[in-house]
Amino acid sequence: MSDNTKLVNHNDNEIHITSYVEHFGTWISLILLTFMTVFISVFGADLNTLTVATALFIASIKALVVAYYFMHLKYDPKIYRVMIIVVMALFLFFLLMLVVDYLTR
């Protein structure tokens, strides 16, 4: 089960039994990251614009943790990772162009 380089075909109804350690690890890291977000927004006001950037950065890490461990991306074929990366890239391009527009107006 831990061999995540192997391509897993969901047609074969293979079931991944994730260990408690992994589930709890995911949960605890999410809680810690949430505390970090709160902490920064309440006490880190002097970061100014960086506050938003940091909050977004932490949120992205949380999303990745959820996708990778909880949603079993680590067991899925590589193509799924490619798809997610493409989507994230599209989204980043959208943000990039928004920022270009705002900063050069």
Partner 1 sequence: MTDSSMSQPSYLNIKKGLFSWIFTLDHKRIGLLYLYSVGAFFLVGAALGVLMRLELLNPGGDLIEAQTYNQVFTLHGVIMIFLFIIPSIPAVFGNFFLPIMLGTDDVAFPRLNLMSWWLYVIGALFALSTLVFGDGPADTGWTFYAPYSVKTGTNVSMSVLAAFILGFSSILTGLNFIVTIHRLRAPGMGFNQMPLFSWALYATSWIQLLATPIIGITLLMIVAERMLGIGLFDPSIGGDPILYQHLFWIYSHPAVYIMALPAMGIVSEIIPTFAQRTIFGYKAIAYSSMAIAFVGYFVWGHHMFTSGMSGPAAYIFSILTFFVAIPTSIKVFNWLATMYKGSISIEVPLLYAVGFIFNFLIGGLTGLVNGALAADVHLHDTYFVVGHFHYVMFGGTGFAFFGALHYWFPKIWGKMYNKLVANVAFAIIFIGFNTLYFPMLILGIMGMPRRYYDYLPEFHSLNQISTYGSWILVSGLLLMIYNLIRGYFNGTKTTDNPWNGITLEWQTKSPPPLHNFDKAPELVKGGPYNYPNAIDGSH
Closer residue to partner 1 in complex, CB, 3/105: 105
23-52 binders of partner 1 (CB under 8 A): none
DSSP letters for 60-105: HHHHHHIIIIIT-GGGS-HHHHHHHHHHHHHHHHHHHHHHHHHHH-
Closer residue to partner 1 in complex, CB, 28/88: 88
Q: Is 88 in the site for partner 1 (CB under 8 A)?
A: no
Q: Is 7 in the site for partner 1 (CB under 8 A)?
A: no
Report, in Å, the least distance between residue 96 CB and partner 1: 10
Closest alpha carbon to 99 in 62, 37, 49, 32:
49
Q: Rounded to whole angstroms, how far apart are CA atoms 70 and 65?
A: 7
How big is the CA angle at 90 (ends 85 and 94), to the nearest 5 degrees? Answer: 145
Q: Is 63 in the site for partner 1 (CB under 8 A)?
A: no
Report, in Å, the least distance between residue 103 CB and partner 1: 8
Q: Which residues of the shown chain bind partner 1 in the complex (CB under 8 A)?
A: 11, 87, 90, 93-94, 97-98, 100-105
